[in-house]
Structure 1
Amino acid sequence: MGLVLILVALIAFIVLSTTRLKLHPFLALLAAALIAGFAYQLPSGEIIKTMTAGFGGILGYIGIVIVLGTIIGVILERSGAAITMAETVIRLLGQRFPTLTLSIIGYLVSIPVFCDSGYVILNSLKNALAARMKVSVVAMSVALATGLYATHTFVPPTPGPIAAAGNLGLETSLGLVILVGLLVAAVTAVAGMLWANRFLKQNDQALLEEAPSELLADNVDFDALRARYGKLPSAWQAFSPIFVPIALICLGSVAAFPSKPFGEGALFDVLSFLGQPVAALLVGLVLACALLRGEGKRQQFHDHVAHGLKEAAPILLITGAGGAFGAVLKATALTGYLGDTLSALGIGLFMPFLVAAALKSAQGSSTVALVTTSAMVAPLLANLGLDSEMGRVLTVMAIGAGAMTVSHANDSFFWVVTQFSRMKVATAYRAQTMATLIQGMSGMLAVWLLSLVLL
């Protein structure tokens, strides 16, 4: 029990130090990682090594994606493309349900794309829609993040659900996992959107560190902005830097299916390369360059890149510090203690849910929670009465629901959402972390109801 109390105390330290003491999140997270290392009695010589490995590991995965996505966002905003995107979406889907629009976009995009990358890619569209519809950027950020998060934890070909299905012997039943996953993910996406709606009319100035885009600054005059940009880009020009990378990542995921639908020749090699988020975003950056107009395009491009790097730097540092904190927690006895304690409860589908939720909250990674819990639960399925094909599928869903409960300071996605949206840390816990708690519980409720019908 003491191990859990230390984790609670560390989270309280991060929240209080960033809100009351005004300590920068980068330093607060590094301090929390250091304190955790000593509190959990890791060897003193390993604490700093674990922190630096965690810092570098998370940036190796998401760092370049953040930088490229930020640069593309700057170009989209400063070329007027963001206004075109917002007006196109509004023309197609209307203004009545702004959070629903972003939730659906996130739900679809995150089926083949990691939620972190998806949020970075779609951030500029989210800001433009929030500004054009005159609604809270916090509400729109949570709607997008929860839409992305829903399919990320339930629907293959995302690695976590695929690995969980494999560990539970469902390699030949991925179609069924996808079908049930889409249904459960839809429930959690709706739950996240409804929570996001609580913030629609709230004053962003009290919730944000600063406006995340010039489009969201006070008293923005869109007519004046139009005049400044001159002729706005076409819808294709505006959307291509976002949706071409998404399409490439989708094709890369399809190419990697065990059935090899594109074969294993040159086409497979090309799609496997371009389907990686970094390569796909480089293509997006090339397409964004077509938005540069007028004299001195090289200087414009240089200025936009410099501005993007300046904006990306604090996001990178805070995300890396979150990775350091998560890495220290992973190296402690906490995850093993939680897994052993909860796996002994024997409460049907709620056991894998609780184990995954405890592991997710303790170490931050949904993928690790999915993989670890599924491996731990696999030998226990017969004892739990879940040894049928549908029982295994619902076990994957229960683990997925747990693996989204909850996203907080040791999760890179928490910091991507927080920093790209410029939320205060206290706001992020109230908006984003609480949203993931509601999503996880809603997902588990849906899985339990399905089990009453299908098992």
Structure 2
Amino acid sequence: MVVLHAAIAIAVVIVLILVVRVDPVISLVAGSVYLGLAAGLGFEKTITTIAEGFGDIMTEVGLLIGFGVLLGSLLHAMGALSKVVEKLLNALGPGKLPYALAVALSTIFPSIYVDVQLVLAAPLARSAAPHLGRGGLAMMGGALTTGILVGYVFVVPGLGTVAIAGLLHVPLGTILLYGFVLGPLTALLTMFVYSRLLRRGFWNADKDETSAVAETPADAEQEPRAKRPLPPLPVSLLPIVVPLLLIAFGAITEAAGVQSDVIAFLGDPVFALFAGLVGAYALARRTLGRDGLAGTMSKGFGSTGQILLVTGVGGSLGAVIGETDLDDVLSGLFSADAGVHAVLTVLLVWLVAAVLHFAIGSIAVAGIAAAGILAPIMGGLGIPPEVLALAIGSGALFALQLNSNFFWMFQTLLGVTTRGALKALTFVTSLASLVSLVLVMGLSFVV
């Protein structure tokens, strides 16, 4: 019954938001309360879990969101992001920009911290969207989705990739070689199919975008006027580049077994983003002046509060799901003792991870759980462990939706409605999952 109650809770949240037009915060709490009570947690445990889930998410991403939103606001006000977009458009053209961004995020900049990638890349995507014409925000949102999350499950050092490979005892060098081909290929094919759907009217700007997205020239005039010229572009981008380098350096040294408190401190995402914020603040103070800086920071603080609240209650729903025995129920359905191990194929491996992700709401947890379920019977599946790992990653990517805090970060940071996020994130992750499934199935014939 817990599977049914979880499905009802998610459906209730979707209906309340999309049909009844209830605010996402209220809808998510209502769904969490229903699931907690229906699953037998009791009144006190349900409320406690909702509060603890909110707190846990804030501990994990609260400062990242706050620092990242302020950093993006400062760079936008100074015009640094506009210059980046202008140069990228001149070099690539509007048609190629989303594809280039998706491939770069999935291969050159794969990250253990997908929340950091989203926070840093969302302002760039919003700035570029108007230059792409109709459906530009949808296209850039799809590029963020495919780039960040495909890299997360297929390319080292993505946490999903590393965790699955470790549980299945697949060498990281091996999974890196396969993932470096499968990741960008999945991203490109997904973006190609998605772009064709957008041309056929899949996206409705009036219903799928918030009013704050499409910035007009009149809106731009309301931004603080620069007191001094912006420094050279490479200097202006240091607040973004430095945090990425610090995080990458910390991840690489950790993987290499280097033990250093100083390196761990410098490579921590919270410190890295804070360093970027301090750099952006110094540049903005010089460029915008004190009054312009104060106005920009105030605007950023206002946006941060909304994002934190929605993201936090999204974590509450995930916490309530975690307190149920849903993962144990699903594990039993797909275990060797259930009598289905003889017919397991790449498709069924994918299905295990897909069902786990849809129910639990975490790509990494779904991938880890699926690998834990399948590892004991791996020898009887008839497919190499590296193909099994890729199939799990493909399935864990499927249908990232409302029970994930990433969903609500995406919605608010990109400036789309819940309906828009379901299209640019949930649908696109489902599409990428299916595209990669076909590629993994093809790979199983040659490996």
* Equivalent position of 2:180 in the other structure: 182
User: Is this contact kept in 1: 2:334–2:373, CA < 8 A?
Assistant: no
Q: Which residue of 2 aligns with 1:206?
A: 207
129-138 or 310-319: bigger deviation: 129-138
Task: Give the Å deviation of 1:439.
Answer: 1.1
Residues 141 and 424, structure 2, Cα contact 8 Å, conserved in 1? no
**Aligned-partner Cα distance in 1 for 2:193–2:113:** 22
Aligned to 1:80: 79
Is residue 28–residue 313 contact of structure 2 (8 Å, CA) maintained in 1? Answer: yes
**What's 1:231 paired with?**
229
8 A Cα contact 1:10 1:36, kept in partner = yes
User: 2:106, 2:155 within 8 Å by CA — same for their partners in 1?
Assistant: no
* C-alpha separation in 2, matches of 1:31 and 1:318: 13
Alpha-carbon offset, residue 295 of structure 1: 8.6
In structure 2, C-alpha distance between the alignment counterparts of 1:44 and 1:221, rounded to whole Å: 47
Q: Is the 8 A contact 2:145 2:424 kept in 1?
A: no
CA drift at 1:375:
1.6
Q: Secondary structure in 2 aligned to 1:77?
A: helix
Matched, 1:383 2:380: yes
Contact 2:111 2:117 (C-alpha < 8 Å) held by counterparts: no
Superposition deviation, residue 132 in structure 1? 3.5
Deviation at 1:283, TM superposition (A): 1.4
Task: Assess, with a 3 A threshold, how the Cα gap between structure 1 residues 110 and 353 changes in structure 2: closer, same or farther.
Answer: farther
Q: Does 1:304 align with 2:296?
A: yes
Contact 1:404 1:437 (8 Å CA) reproduced: yes
1:254 to 252, 255, 277: 252
Is structure 2 residue 1 aligned with structure 1 residue 8?
Answer: no
In the alignment, what sits opposite 2:367? 370
Q: CA deviation at 1:17?
A: 0.9
Corresponding residue to 1:450 among 437, 440, 443: 443
Separation in structure 2 between the aligned mates of residue 113 and residue 383 of structure 1, nearest angstrom: 31
Cα distance in 1 for residues equivalent to 2:40 and 2:382: 39
Counterpart in 2 of 1:146?
A: 146
Q: Post-superposition shift, 1:13? A: 1.5
Counterpart amino acid of residue 73 in structure 1: G
In structure 2, the CA distance between the partners of 1:413 and 1:247, relative to structure 1 (3 Å rule), is same
Q: Secondary structure at the match of 2:95?
A: coil
Q: 8 Å contact 1:122–1:242 — kept in the other structure?
A: no
User: In structure 2, which of residues 355, 375, 381 is the aligned counterpart of residue 358 of structure 1?
Assistant: 355
Q: Per the alignment, in what secondary structure is the counterpart of residue 291 of structure 1?
A: helix
CA change 1:199–1:59 in 2 (3 A) is farther
Which letter maps to 1:205? D
**d(CA) in 1 for partners of 2:285, 2:44:** 55
Q: Work out whether 1:71 is the aligned partner of 2:70.
A: yes
3-state DSSP of counterpart to 2:334? helix
Alignment of 1:360-439 (within 5 A): 360-386=357-383, 391-439=384-432
Q: Is this contact kept in 2: 1:357–1:404, CA < 8 A?
A: yes
Change (3 A) 1:416 1:88: same
Cα deviation, residue 165, structure 1: 1.5
Q: What runs of 5+ residues in structure 1 fail to find an aligned partner?
A: none
Q: CA 1:375/1:227 → structure 2, altered by over 3 Å: closer, same or farther? A: closer
Counterpart of 2:130 in structure 1 is: 131
Deviations 1:132-151 (CA, angstroms, capped at 9, x unpaired): 44452122112112211101
Specify the SS of the correspondent of 2:82: helix
Residue 314 in structure 1 maps to residue 306 in structure 2: yes
The answer to whether the 8 Å contact 1:167/1:375 transfers is: yes
The superposition leaves residues 252-303 of structure 1 with CA deviations (integer Å, 9 ceiling, x where unpaired) of: 111111x33xx44xxx443322222111111111221243256984554443
Contact 2:29 2:313 in 1 (8 A): yes
The separation in 1 between residues aligned to 2:330 and 2:121, in whole angstroms, is 35
Alignment of 1:14-163 (within 5 A): 14-108=13-107, 110-135=109-134, 136-163=136-163
Aligned equivalents of 1:110, 1:340: Cα separation in 2: 37
- Does the 8 Å contact 1:248/1:274 carry over to 2? yes
Match of 1:277 in 2: 269
Whether contact under 8 Å (1:110, 1:152) holds in the other structure is no
Bigger mean CA deviation after superposition, 431-440 or 129-138: 129-138
Is residue 40–residue 332 contact of structure 1 (8 Å, CA) maintained in 2? Answer: yes
Q: Distance in 2 between matches of 1:152 and 1:243?
A: 20
Match of 1:327 in 2: 319
**Displacement of 1:64:** 0.6
Return the letter of the residue paired with 2:427: M
- TM-score relative to the length of structure 2: 0.91
**TM-score, structure 1 as length reference:** 0.89
Distance in 1, matches of 2:224 and 2:360, equals 49
Q: Is the 8 A contact 1:364 1:410 kept in 2?
A: yes
Going from structure 1 to structure 2, the CA distance change for 1:143 and 1:196 (only over 3 Å counts) comes to farther
Deviation track 1:66-89 (CA, whole Å, cap 9, x = no partner) reads 111100111011111121111122
Structure 1 stretch displaced more, 240-249 or 70-79 = 240-249
Inter-partner Cα distance in structure 1 for 2:218 and 2:288 = 27
Shift of 1:131: 2.7
C-alpha contact 1:85 1:128 (8 A) present in aligned 2: no
Aligned residues: 437
Superposition CA RMSD, Å = 2.4
> 1:449: how far off?
0.9
The aligned residue for residue 169 of structure 1 is 169
Structure 2, unmatched stretches of 5+, are: none
